[in-house]
Amino acid sequence: MYYVTDTHSLVWYFTDDPRLSSKALSAFSEAESDGNIIVPAVVLAEIMFIAKKGRITISFAETLDKIGENENFIIAPLDTDILKIADKIESDLEMHDKLIAATAIYYEAVLITRDENLSRSQIVTTVW
Residue 74 in contact with residue 36, Cβ under 8 Å? yes
Quote the pTM value.
Answer: 0.93
Q: Which helix (H) or strand (E) holds 42?
A: helix 41-52
**Average pLDDT of the segment spanning 102-125:** 95
**Per-residue model confidence (pLDDT) at position 32:** 86
Strand order in the sheet with 2-5: 73-76, 36-40, 2-5, 110-112, 126-127
**Residues 39-71: tens digit of each pLDDT:** 999 999 999 999 999 999 999 999 999 999 999
Are the beta carbons of 4 and 105 closer than 8 angstroms? no
User: Domain segments of the chain: what residues?
Assistant: 2-120
Q: Which fold has domain 2-120?
A: Rossmann fold (3.40.50)
